[in-house]
Amino acid sequence: MNKENQMSNQNDVTLYDVKLIFKNWFHYLFSKWHVFVLVGLFCGALGVLYAAFDKPVYTAELTFTSENEASGNFSAYAGIAAQFGLDMGGSSNSAFEGENLMYLMRSRKLIEKTLFSTVEINKENILLINYYLRVHDFEVPGNKTGMARKMTFTNVKEPNNRNRDSVLQVICKNIDKALDIQKADKKTDIIVVRLKDTHELFAKIFVEELVNKVIQYYTDYKVRKIKQNVGILQRQTDSVRNLISGNIIDIAVSSDLNVNPTRQIVRTGVQRKQVDAQVNSSLYTELVKNLELSKLALLKETPLIQIIDTPMFPLEKKKMGWLKGFVLFGFMGVLFSFAFFIVKRILQT
**pLDDT tens by residue, 197-251:** 999 999 999 999 999 998 888 878 777 777 777 888 888 888 887 877 776 666 6
Split at pLDDT 50, 70, 90, the class of 80 is: low
pLDDT of res. 92: 46
| Helix, strand, coil in percent for the chain, rounding step 5 | 65, 10, 25
Q: In terms of pTM, does the model score above 0.95? A: no
Whether the Cβ atoms of residue 261 and residue 319 lie closer than 8 Å to each other: no
What mean pLDDT value characterizes the chain? 79
Contacts with 105 (C-beta within 8 Å, 6 or more apart), sequence order: 179, 181, 193, 210, 211, 214
High-pLDDT (> 90) share of the chain, %? 32
Amino acid at residue number 171 = I
pLDDT of res. 19: 82
Split at pLDDT 50, 70, 90, the class of 270 is: low
Amino acid at residue number 144 = K
- Spans of all domains in the chain: 2-52+322-348, 55-318
Q: Identify which has the larger pLDDT, 83 or 320.
A: 320
b/e per residue 140-162 (b: at least 16 CB within 10 A): beeeeeeebeeeebeeeeeeeee
Instruction: Give how far Cα 41 sits from Cα of 34, 48, 116, 184, 289, Å.
Output: 11, 10, 48, 43, 83
Q: Within 10 Å of residue 287's Cβ, how many Cβ atoms?
A: 20
CATH architecture of 55-318: 2-Layer Sandwich (3.30)
Q: Does position 94 have pLDDT exceeding 80, yes or no? A: no
Residue 126, strand partner residues: 119
